[in-house]
Amino acid sequence: MTGKGLDLKKIEISVRGLKDIVAQKFLYSLKSTILSFYMPIIILFIFITGMASYLVAAMQIEENAYSNIKTIVFQTRNYLDNRFADALQQLAELSDHPDILSIINKDPEDITPEDYLRVQSHVNTIRSVNGTLIDSIYINFHDDKFIFFRGDDPSSISKLTFRQYRKSFKDNPYDIYWGNFSHEDVKSEENVSILKLFGRENAKINGLILFSLRYDFFEKVFSSSLLSKSGYLMLVSNDGMMTFKKINNEYQINSEVIKQLQQRKEKEGKLEFKSSQGKNMVLIYDTLPTNQWKLVAVFTQDEVLDRAKYIKYITLSLIILLIVVAVVLTNILAIFITRPISALADNMKHIQGENIDFVSDIHPLNEIGILNQGVKDLVERVKVLLDQIKMEQETKRQLEFSVMQTQIHPHFLYNTLYSIKGLCDMELNEDASAMITALANFFRISISCGKEIISIEEELSHIRNYLFIQEMRYGDTFSYEINVSDDILSYSIVKLTLQPLVENAIYHGVKQKRGIGWIGVNGYRKDGFLYFEVQDNGLGMNSERLEEVYKCLENRNFSLGKGGLGVRSVHERLQLHYGKEAGLKIASELNEGTIIKIIIPMKQLEDEQNA
């Protein structure tokens, strides 16, 4: 024997010895077998469940933290936007006031002290109403020949002239501009201002009105927002950023991040970056509709995830405790399960031959009790299946009767004939003839010599005739498209599969919504299934209504009311004919439309075609 053969022999002997040891130490009884197999599984399950719970909790904590910050940003944005809108409205009303327009249209030499008094009255009214928001109002007309200022700090009067402002601001057709100006422009601290310009750069009539908003207003609003310890709010515009709060260097945003934020086109979003000192930072922003500035919340990632650490320690403690409890309970359960095994072997002798109705007084938790209960359940199941077969036959007969009723379409026939009469009265004979032909073809396919199964090509012809008639009746209120793959036209399906869904799309979809409606019918095969999609851009359904529709499909006793019978009839006929894999799937959004997808296994269609 070679050396290689000896090595294989030794390995085989070692494997057998290991199996014997395992059998002797761990599998010597049913109890030890249960413990050997289930204990590792239970421990692994507890560990996986605990870790999964921790991860889910950590994710939820992070999600809640981000959600809270988003809520703070959203609420602060709304408040600022409302106050900005108030200031903008006051500026617009002052700019359009006859007294202001009279002054700007006068020659500078004709301006009187009464003009100053009238302006002072208007400005005082604005400041008294919006004193918490508006810090100062500055008016400059006729190249510094008419200057008016009202505010707490005269040193904050702008040093820039009209022409300097006009060169800086050119892109607004209303000549109203928002800005956060530096101290060379207006004040010695960050300042938010609204500017209204009158006239062009070299025009004889020119001027400006400048509202400066209070610094302490923003300071109060931003300090009242409940962010984290190191978190803060700031405003970002095309001019730069304003924080209204002293920020530690380790939490400050660099210019590259500000530039990236300014270039973002999304109205709201999130951005992650590293601070100058390497801290992982996150900012969440939203855009003010009034001036398109971004309100930004800045905070560190560590503060968001701090609470997750406590969850981790608690989870590990619970995992250890549960493993100990599981070991004890598994031992108790193994003893309880194995004790009645010998009794099971003795009692099985009573169930022999045709005596399947044997009933013993075994506790339902014991194996014999479970076996006895299983026999009883089997008998009951046979009875239920027999009743179910009878019910399905009755359901099929009812559905056949419903189909016969549907084929008649008395209301549809009446409306169509009335429309044909109208066309004849208007001497539109060609249209009337086309409508009569479509109606004849529609009923020819509906009747189909009593056939329940027709080709897909015939079914498509059926709905084309139906849609043509409805289009003639309703004019340009809706349009339709039919796109069906050529490779499925030769297959046959249950008659009246598509028409009830198309009818439903018209009457409960596009007719319920203003504007031009659209209905699309698509057909294709994919991954072993045949699919039809009937979609519309109509009224659609909310989630509650969609849930009711699904209940109607699965439960005949659930009444959906108007519009549900045709959809349920199609669903039930498909499942009766092609099995439970067939049926309808519905997706819908309110005011967006509805898509009803018909699903039929290709195997069933191919078997019928080859039969």
Could you report the per-residue pLDDT of 361-408, keeping only the tens digit for each? Answer: 555 555 556 665 665 565 567 567 767 776 776 566 456 545 545 554
Indicate the SS3 state at residue 57: helix
**How many CB atoms sit inside 10 A of residue 30's CB?**
12
Nearest one of 472, 476, 460 to 517, comparing CA atoms: 476
> What mean pLDDT comes out for the span 562-567?
68
By CB neighbour count within 10 A (0-12 exposed, 13-18 middle, 19+ buried), where does 508 fall? buried
Higher pLDDT, 531 or 306: 531
Q: Mutual orientation of helices 30-95 and 215-223 as an angle, nearest 10°?
A: 170
Q: Which of 523, 532, 544, 519 has its CA nearest to residue 594?
A: 519
Using H for helix, E for strand and C for coil, what is the string for 553-591? Answer: HHCCCCCCCCCHHHHHHHHHHHHHHHCCCCEEEEEEECC
| Partners of 587 in beta bridges | 595
Of 32-46, 283-297, 347-361, 499-513, the one with minimum mean pLDDT is 347-361
Per-residue pLDDT, averaged over 34-40, amounts to 75
Residue type, 432: A
Asked whether 358 and 372 are in contact (CB, 8 A), the reply is yes
- The DSSP element (H or E) to which 593 belongs, if any, is strand 593-601
Task: Give the global pTM.
Answer: 0.47
Highest mean pLDDT among 113-122, 249-258, 391-400: 113-122
Pinpoint the alpha helices (H) of 339-409.
341-347, 367-408
Per-residue pLDDT averaged across 173-199, rounded?
Answer: 66
Q: What is the pLDDT of residue 524?
A: 94
496 or 188, which is more confident? Answer: 496
Of the spans 25-34, 249-258, 426-435, which averages the highest pLDDT?
249-258
pLDDT per residue over 47-71, tens digit each? 888 888 878 887 887 788 888 888 8
The pLDDT confidence band at residue 7, using thresholds 50, 70 and 90, is low
421: its two tokens: 């009469």
CATH class of 409-610: alpha beta
pLDDT for the residue numbered 182: 44
Output 156 or 277, whichever has higher pLDDT: 277
pLDDT at 185 (0 to 100): 46
Assigned CATH topology for domain 27-341: Beta-Lactamase (3.30.450)
Average pLDDT over residues 305-326: 80
- Of 83 and 407, the one with more pLDDT: 83
Average pLDDT for the chain? 78
Give the Cβ contact number of residue 382 at 10 Å: 10
Give the whole-number percent of the chain exceeding pLDDT 70. 73
Domain parsing of the chain, residue ranges: 27-341, 409-610
What is the average pLDDT across 205-218? 86
Confidence of residue 257 (pLDDT cuts 50, 70, 90): confident
pLDDT, tens digit, 9 for 90 and up, residues 565-598: 678 888 888 888 888 899 999 999 988 899 999 9
Cβ atoms within 10 Å, residue 231: 20
Highest mean pLDDT among 2-11, 13-22, 248-257: 248-257
pLDDT value of residue 187: 45
Mean pLDDT value across residues 309-325: 82
pLDDT score for 520 = 93
Please, which pLDDT band fits residue 176 given cuts at 50, 70 and 90? confident
Categorize the per-residue pLDDT at 105 as very low, low, confident or very high, splitting at 50, 70 and 90: confident
pLDDT of residue 404: 47
Res 290 pLDDT > 60: yes
Reply yes or no on whether the pLDDT at 171 is more than 90.
no
Whether the per-residue pLDDT at 149 is higher than 60: the answer is: yes
pLDDT value at position 531? 96
pLDDT band, very low/low/confident/very high, at 173 (cuts 50, 70, 90): low
pLDDT-wise least confident of 4-18, 417-431, 478-492, 514-528? 4-18
Position 354 confidence tier, pLDDT thresholds 50, 70, 90: very low
Q: Is the pLDDT of residue 108 over 80?
A: yes
Q: Tell me which of 505-514, 550-559, 566-575 is least confident.
A: 550-559
For the cut 90, the answer to whether the pLDDT of residue 303 exceeds it is no
Residues 6+ apart with CB under 8 A from 535: 505, 519, 520, 522, 593, 594, 595, 596
For the segment 308-322, the average pLDDT, to the nearest whole number, is 81
d(CA 407, CA 402): 9
**CA-based nearest residue to 460, from 441, 434, 473:** 441
pLDDT band at 433, cuts 50/70/90?
Answer: confident
Rounded distance between C-alpha atoms, residue 596 and residue 586, angstroms: 5
